[in-house]
Amino acid sequence: EVVLTQSPLSLPVTLGQSASISCRSSQGLVYSDGDTYLNWFQQRPGQSPRRLIYKVSNRDSGVPDRFSGSGSGTDFTLILNRVEAEDVGVYYCMQGTHWPFTFGQGTRLEI
């Protein structure tokens, strides 16, 4: 099973500053179709998870361009620029390349 290790697990930030979350995989995540199925999700308090970034760096429709994803191989990063109050929640990385698909432990972002 692929293990995704997120860091930090808790991320206190100041409004307007930037934040970065790391996701390290125990295996490479390139699928046989050539794509890398490393995705990022946001879960606000009391809500269902919402996808932010798919296949490493593709931002979903409606997601502010303050969010960006990058990485390759086994190291991936989610960056939040100019953090706003609405960004509070838990962020998860997830790999959809190797079954069973797996999630990181989650990073709690707090203002």
Query: Quick one: which of 45, 48, 62, 85 contacts another protein (CB under 8 A)?
Result: 48
Residue 59 CA to residue 26 CA, distance in Å, equals 24
Q: How far is the CB of 17 from another protein (least distance, A)?
A: 25
Query: Quick one: which of 54, 67, 76, 91 contacts another protein (CB under 8 A)?
Result: 54
Question: Does residue 108 interact with another protein by CB under 8 A?
Answer: no
The SS3 assignment for 83 reads coil
Cβ atoms of 6 and 23 within 8 Å: the answer is: yes
Phi and psi based region of residue 26 (left: phi greater than 0; alpha: psi -120 to 50; beta: remaining) = alpha
Cis amide linkage into residue 100, ω under 30° from 0: yes
Name which of 27 and 31 has its Cβ closer to another protein: 31
Binding site for another protein (CB under 8 A): 31, 37, 39, 41, 48-51, 54-55, 60, 90, 92, 94, 96-97, 99-106
